[in-house]
Amino acid sequence: MSYSYWRTERLILDAVDRRLLRKTTVPNQIVSVLTSPDFLAVASICIIGLLVTFAVMFTVPDFWQASEALQQLL
């Protein structure tokens, strides 16, 4: 018959990462959201789309007329 030893049970209880137990503040939550890989991927796709739109606006002379026609169509 095997009996559990109190030190091994204590080690299991102490194995919790201390960073999980600390309280998070609002600035820490904002920084963690802004540095998350998902947010960075979505933000980079949006910035690329915005830059492409501006590049097309300034290089194609009739872009405004085409966009107005598309808006009326939709």
The pLDDT tens digits of the residues spanning 8-31 come to 555 555 555 666 666 778 888 899
Q: Which domain holds residue 56?
A: 24-73
Q: Is residue 4 part of a domain?
A: no
Q: Is residue 12 part of a domain?
A: no
The answer to whether 37 touches 43, Cβ cutoff 8 Å, is no
How many Å apart are CA 44 and CA 33, to the nearest integer?
A: 15
Q: Is residue 9 part of a domain?
A: no
Give this prediction's pTM. Answer: 0.55
Q: Residues 6 or more apart from 2 whose CB is under 8 A from it?
A: none
Q: Is residue 14 part of a domain?
A: no
How many Å apart are CA 41 and CA 64, to the nearest integer?
A: 29
- pLDDT value, residue 17: 63
How many Å apart are CA 35 and CA 29, to the nearest integer?
A: 10
The count of structural domains within the chain is 1
pLDDT digits (tens, 9 = 90+) for 38-52: 999 999 999 999 999
